[in-house]
Amino acid sequence: AQSVTQPDARVTVSEGASLQLRCKYSYSATPYLFWYVQYPRQGLQLLLKYYSGDPVVQGVNGFEAEFSKSNSSFHLRKASVHWSDSAVYFCAVSMRTNNNRIFFGDGTQLVVKP
Amino acid sequence: GGIITQTPKFLIGQEGQKLTLKCQQNFNHDTMYWYRQDSGKGLRLIYYSITENDLQKGDLSEGYDASREKKSSFSLTVTSAQKNEMAVFLCASSIGVGDTQYFGPGTRLLVL
């Protein structure tokens, strides 16, 4: 069965530090890959997505993610975090066949210390 | 751009009560979804609808009914609210299944 794993439930970093949030999926073919962010008391918003091509995709607010087929991963990165980046980040995958839904990971809570 | 509206924003119910949550989207998207999010947890798919009048069960459909009478709206009914239940219900829509989903702000449920 398809699954998405975010191994870190919570990550704490200092403002200005770099960030990596990990995401691994289990599927033999290359899926569509997404990162969403959820700010307190809001719905989820799309940060970036990967469909094909360049494995490094750029998103909003300086976020980027790198797809690795060999590692079945899609890690999210940011060079320098801001306190306003504190939120919950969800990785999601969907298969490249008709009527295949998106599966979400359990999320990683990011806390940025001032 | 478009927007997803969920009503009500807050819903307080009694044990055993039937409760209905509504979702409207103006993206003209074919596919709509209902998710449940418990505090500090991920999203669990309750129902989704690929097109008007279609319904597909998700991973958590027991205890819920859904209805998609129009392309723009998708309703979810909690058939019998459980005492002390507390969760956020998120509605989303997308062009097709597997495409980018756009989310509403959520309905917060509390059952006394």
CATH number at residue B18: 2.60.40.10
Compute how many other C-beta atoms are within 10 angstroms of the C-beta atom of residue B107: 22
Higher-pLDDT residue of B1, B49: B49
Mean pLDDT for A35-41 is: 93
Residue A97, pLDDT > 70, answer: no
In this prediction, residue B90 has a pLDDT band, given cuts at 50, 70 and 90, of very high
Q: Give, as one character, the DSSP assignment of residue B100.
A: P
Are B79 and B64 in contact, with CB atoms under 8 Å apart?
yes
Closest-CA distance, B61 to chain A, in angstroms, reads 15
> B41 contacts in A (CB within 8 Å)?
106-107
Residues within 8 A of A (CB atoms), B 69-98 only = 90, 92, 97-98
Fold of A3-113: Immunoglobulin-like (2.60.40)
Report in angstroms the alpha-carbon separations of B13 from A63, B10, B17: 40, 10, 7
> What is the residue whose two structure tokens read 């307190």?
A40
Residue A28, pLDDT > 80, answer: no
B105 CB near a chain A CB, below 8 Å? yes
Spell out the residues 6+ positions from residue A71 whose beta carbon is closer than 8 angstroms to its own. Answer: A24
**Helix, coil or strand: residue A39:** coil
The domain ranges of chain A are: 3-113
Enter the tokens of residue A57: 């995709």
> What is the residue whose two structure tokens read 């569509």?
A32
Distance separating alpha carbons of residues A65 and A48, to the nearest angstrom: 8
Using only the alpha carbons of chain A, give its radius of gyration: 14
**Helix, coil or strand: residue A80:** coil
Mean pLDDT for B30-52 is: 92
In this prediction, residue A1 has a pLDDT band, given cuts at 50, 70 and 90, of low
Q: For residue B63, give its domain range.
A: 4-111
A100/B98 CB distance under 8 A = yes
As to burial, measured by CB atoms within 10 angstroms (0-12 exposed, 13-18 middle, 19+ buried), residue A53 is exposed
Enter the tokens of residue B46: 């309750």
A107/B41 CB distance under 8 A = yes
Interface test with A, best of B43, B59, B91, B94 (most A CBs within 10 A): B43
Mean pLDDT for A89-113 is: 86
Rounded to 5°, angle at Cα A65 from A48 and A42: 40
Enter the tokens of residue B59: 């991973």
Q: What is the pLDDT of residues A7-23, one digit of tens each?
A: 999 999 999 999 999 99
How do A87-94 and A108-113 pair as beta strands?
Answer: antiparallel
In single-letter form, the type of residue at position A57 comes to V
B48/A101 CB distance under 8 A = yes
Q: What is the pLDDT of residues A39-58, one digit of tens each?
A: 988 889 999 999 989 999 99
Mean model confidence pLDDT for chain B? 93
pLDDT at B81: 92
Closest C-alpha among A79, A78, A76, A83 to residue A112 = A83
